[in-house]
Structure 1
Amino acid sequence: MEQDIIKGLGPLGGIYTALQAIPTEYGFFVACDMPFLSPACLPEVERLIRNRQYQTIRFFDRVSVRYVDEYEVRKLDPSLRSFLNINRPEDLARISHG
């Protein structure tokens, strides 16, 4: 577990910190919309941070991404449970009980 290098930037700040920390060419992130990022993306992340453009979506236009079809995902996760979004304790309680 790493503390964000630059605090208060949301997901982009976390991705930046993780890419700085990993010793491999690729990283795997739990966020369902950005699973494979290479440290080669760091210059673009740094540029976005310098320009105060913290929305993760801005990152997609500047790097190579592969969109995964729902059919491909359902082969591994038929219920799409991997895409559940949990932000608050009540979200976790809701999915834990039904």
Structure 2
Amino acid sequence: MNADVFKTAVILAGGKSSRMGFDKQFLRINEVRIMEKLIHELSKEFEDIIIVTNKPEEYKASENGIRIISDEIKEIGPLSGIYGGLKESKSKYVYFIACDMPNINLNYIKYIKKVLTNSKANACVAKREGKFEPFNAFYSIDILPKVEKLISLNRRSIAGLIDIIEPIFIEENVLKKYDYSFDMFMNLNSKEDLEVYIDKQL
């Protein structure tokens, strides 16, 4: 597989942010917006970056390949963002991360690319403590019909999607080689999470 197979990365920014108390897609730390940090890091590995947002009017597409799209199907959670990202992808495999996941691990991303290059799998997802991590993961555009089917049945769970696409799972012992503390899966869901993250930056 050539690099074009992994050209697109998607940042999901459509959540309600109810636990945080404000919209996480506009979160700033030390005057740096987390979204800008994600874009900066992802641009080192991906030519095409898409932001799926419920507030597209708040963004201005830049000249460096950032595309802004809105959820085509409202009120069904992150499955809608996966649907939109896959539909707009310029590559076979699409990397997905959420806007409240501030820690990009480029070495891990490169590793997943190698895993998928040597397989015919339609996704690659991390698994730890018996649970999978739906983001910081790759999905193939080939699963788009299955995503559409789940949406038509009003089945919103990403767990339901994982069950029917048979991904490659990256197990905990491998994950620890790239990030022993699993910070690359950290979500800033609440103000307490934010405080923990800021403390780790000090």
Q: 1:54: which partner in 2? A: 156
Question: What are the Cα deviations for residues 56-85 of structure 1, in whole angstroms up to 9, with x where unaligned?
Answer: 111122112111111111111122101212
Secondary structure in 2 matching 1:9? coil
Task: Give the TM-score, by structure 1 length.
Answer: 0.88
Secondary structure in 2 matching 1:27? strand
The 1:3–1:53 alpha-carbon spacing in structure 2 relative to 1, beyond 3 Å, is same
Equivalent in 33, 38, 43 of residue 134 of structure 2: 33
Q: 2:3: which partner in 1? A: none
Amino acid at match of 2:134: D
Task: Give the TM-score, by structure 2 length.
Answer: 0.45
Q: After alignment, is 56-65 or 46-55 more displaced?
A: 56-65
Q: After alignment, is 50-59 or 23-32 more displaced?
A: 23-32
Q: 1:64: which partner in 2? A: 166
Q: Does 1:17 align with 2:17?
A: no
Distance, in Å, in 1 between the alignment partners of 2:87 and 2:165 is: 17
User: Aligned residues, how many?
Assistant: 98
Q: 2:179: which partner in 1? A: 77
Secondary structure in 1 matching 2:170? coil
Q: Considering fraction of residues, name the structure with more helix.
A: 1
Amino acid at match of 1:95: Y
Deviation at 1:90, TM superposition (A): 4.1
Deviation at 1:94, TM superposition (A): 2.7
Question: What are the Cα deviations for residues 33-62 of structure 1, in whole angstroms up to 9, with x where unaligned?
Answer: 241111110100000000000011111221
Structure 1: gaps spanning 5 or more residues: none
Secondary structure in 2 matching 1:67? strand
Structure 2: gaps spanning 5 or more residues: 1-50, 52-68, 99-132
Deviation at 1:13, TM superposition (A): 0.7
Q: Does 1:5 align with 2:72?
A: yes
Give the fraction of aligned pairs with identical amino acids, expressed as a percent: 33
Structural RMSD (CA): 1.6
Deviation at 1:89, TM superposition (A): 4.2
